[in-house]
Amino acid sequence: MINKLREESISKIFNKYEREPSHAYQVTKLALVIFDKTRGLIHNLGDNERDLLEAGSLLHDIGYYICAKGHNKNSYKLIEQEFLPGFSDREKEIIGNIARYHRGKLPKRTHTCYAPLSENDKALVNKLSAFTRLADALDRSHCSVIEDIDFIHDAFYRSLIVFLKLNTPDCTFELLKARDKKDLFEKEFNLELRFEIKK
């Protein structure tokens, strides 16, 4: 759970720029569910990394405040210009990059926001962005149709079966987008994602 200082810091920016809070909250909820339920299965990231994921997911769409086109890059710019008490400069860079890579092109060493990061921080951004990217796809309709997610890891076939519990009978848009945006997740964790509807 993110501490009070960090929570207040993120809330201040969120309230200043976010135009669709319900979507941001749903993406954050799903990103944290994915993180928590795959910890020990496919990653061993800790609570501080979880805090960075929570912050990056909450702020992923604030760039719409500037312009819809390239809003992911705008989100990065807004995060970079803000003061974030409770987070170090390094952590703020990671949060900004999570927002930057929730959509669009995958991280590249030539990208100006990504290039200065250490190798360890590049690897961390890749993983945390993969969670946010997948969570964002799973709220494609912005209608919070996914209630919960469960996972089965098949180490032999190097696959992760993703069981989606729905609030509504249909999640066509979410499945289409998730198949499109699973690229970074599969690359980072070296496995294939398969989606199933939980009955």
pLDDT in tens, 73-94: 999 999 999 999 999 999 999 9
pLDDT of residue 170: 87
The CA distance from 62 to 20, in Å, is 9
In a domain, 95, yes or no: yes
Average pLDDT for 99-115: 95
Question: Mean pLDDT, the chain, as a whole number?
Answer: 95
Q: Is residue 94 part of a domain?
A: yes
Task: Please answer whether residues 20 and 58 qualify as being in contact, where contact means their C-beta atoms are separated by less than 8 angstroms.
Answer: no
pTM of the predicted model as reported, rounded to 2 decimal places: 0.96
Q: For the chain, what is the domain count?
A: 1
Over 80: is that where the pLDDT of 101 sits? yes
- Residue 21 sits at the vertex; the CA angle it makes with 188 and 42, to the nearest 5 degrees, is 20
CA 4: distance to chain centroid?
21
- For residue 49, what pLDDT band results from cuts at 50, 70 and 90? very high
Residue 76 domain flag: yes
Q: What is the mean pLDDT of residues 108-129?
A: 96
The order of strands in the sheet holding 159-166 is: 146-154, 159-166, 192-197
Is position 175 within any domain? no
Task: State the pLDDT at residue 181.
Answer: 96
pLDDT at 117 over 70: yes
How confident is residue 143, by pLDDT bands cut at 50, 70 and 90?
A: very high
What is the model's pLDDT at position 1? 59
User: Can you give the CATH number for the domain in which 93 is found?
Assistant: 1.10.3210.10
Q: What residue numbers bound the domain in which 9 lies?
A: 4-140
Instruction: Provide the 10 A C-beta neighbour count for residue 23.
Output: 19
Mean pLDDT of 107-111: 94
> Is 198 part of a structural domain of the chain?
no
- Residue 89: inside a domain: yes
For the cut 90, the answer to whether the pLDDT of residue 135 exceeds it is: yes
Q: Is 100 a residue whose pLDDT tops 80?
A: yes
Residue 35 domain-assigned? Answer: yes
Query: What's the pLDDT at 199?
Result: 73
Q: Is 55 within the bounds of a domain?
A: yes
Summarize the confidence of residues 105-130 as an average pLDDT.
Answer: 96
